[in-house]
Amino acid sequence: MKTYLNALGVTCSLGAGKAAVAEALFAGDTRGLRDIDGWAPGRTLPLGEVVDPLPSMPQGMGARDTRNNRLLLLAAQEIETELRDAIARYGADRVGVVIGTSTTGIEEAAGHIATRAQTGTWPDAYRYSDQELGAPAAFLAEWLGIAGPAYGISTACTSGARALLSARRLLRLGLCDAVICGGADTLCRLATHGFHALEATDGQRCVPFSLSRRGINIGEAAALFLMTRDAAEVEFVGGGASSDAYHMSSPAPDGRGAAEAMRRALASAGIEASAIDYVNLHGTATEHNDAMESHAVAHTFARPVPCSSTKALTGHTLGAAGALEAAFCWLALTDAGRRLPPHIWDGGTDPALPPLHFTTVGDRSPAGTRHLMSNSFAFGGNNASLILADAT
Catalytic residue, from 12, 157, 176, 188: name it.
157
**pLDDT(361) > 90:** yes
Cα-Cα-Cα-Cα torsion 252, 256, 258, 264, nearest 10 degrees, comes to: -150
Which residues neighbour 80 within 8 Å (Cβ) at sequence distance 6 or greater? Answer: none
How far is residue 133's CA from residue 204's CA, in Å, rounded to a whole number? 31
**pLDDT(383) > 90:** yes
How far is residue 64's CA from residue 141's CA, in Å, rounded to a whole number? 12
182-231 pLDDT tens trace: 999 999 999 998 888 888 899 999 999 999 999 999 999 999 999 999 99
Mean pLDDT, the chain, integer: 95
Strand partners, 308: 280
The beta strand positions in 75-115, using DSSP E, are 95-100
Reported as a pLDDT band with limits 50, 70 and 90, residue 392 is: confident
CB 72 within 8 A of CB 103: no
Strand partners, 5: 227
88-142 pLDDT tens trace: 999 999 999 999 999 999 999 999 999 999 999 999 989 998 889 999 999 999 9
For Cα atoms 230, 226, 280, give the angle at the middle one, nearest 5 degrees: 105
CB 216 within 8 A of CB 284: yes
Note the pLDDT of residue 241.
Answer: 96
Catalytic residue, from 196, 282, 343, 371: name it.
282
CATH superfamily of 4-390: Thiolase/Chalcone synthase (3.40.47.10)
Note the pLDDT of residue 43.
Answer: 84
How far is residue 25's CA from residue 14's CA, in Å, rounded to a whole number? 7
Work out the burial of residue 29: count CB atoms within 10 Å of its CB; fewer than 13 is exposed, 13-18 middle, 19 or more buried. Answer: middle
327-343 pLDDT tens trace: 999 999 999 999 999 99
How far is residue 392's CA from residue 389's CA, in Å, rounded to a whole number? 9
How far is residue 15's CA from residue 99's CA, in Å, rounded to a whole number? 21
User: Higher model confidence: residue 246 or residue 272?
Assistant: 272
CA within 13 Å, CB half, 95:
24
CB 318 within 8 A of CB 345: no
CB 370 within 8 A of CB 333: yes
Catalytic residue, from 112, 196, 295, 316: name it.
316
Catalytic status, residue 329: no
Catalytic status, residue 316: yes
Note the pLDDT of residue 197.
Answer: 86
**pLDDT(247) > 80:** no
CB 133 within 8 A of CB 154: yes
Q: Cα–Cα distances in Å, from 217 out to 124, 186, 260, 280, 349?
A: 34, 13, 27, 17, 20
**pLDDT(246) > 90:** no
First to last CA, the chain: 13
Catalytic status, residue 295: no
**pLDDT(41) > 80:** yes
DSSP state of 127: -
Task: Please compute the mean of the pLDDT values over residues 35-44 and round it to a whole number.
Answer: 88
DSSP state of 366: P
How far is residue 259's CA from residue 302's CA, in Å, rounded to a whole number? 13
Say what the pTM is: 0.97
> 375 φ, ψ to 5°?
-105, 140
Q: Torsion-angle region of residue 319: left (phi > 0), alpha (psi -120 to 50) or beta? A: alpha
CB 225 within 8 A of CB 164: yes
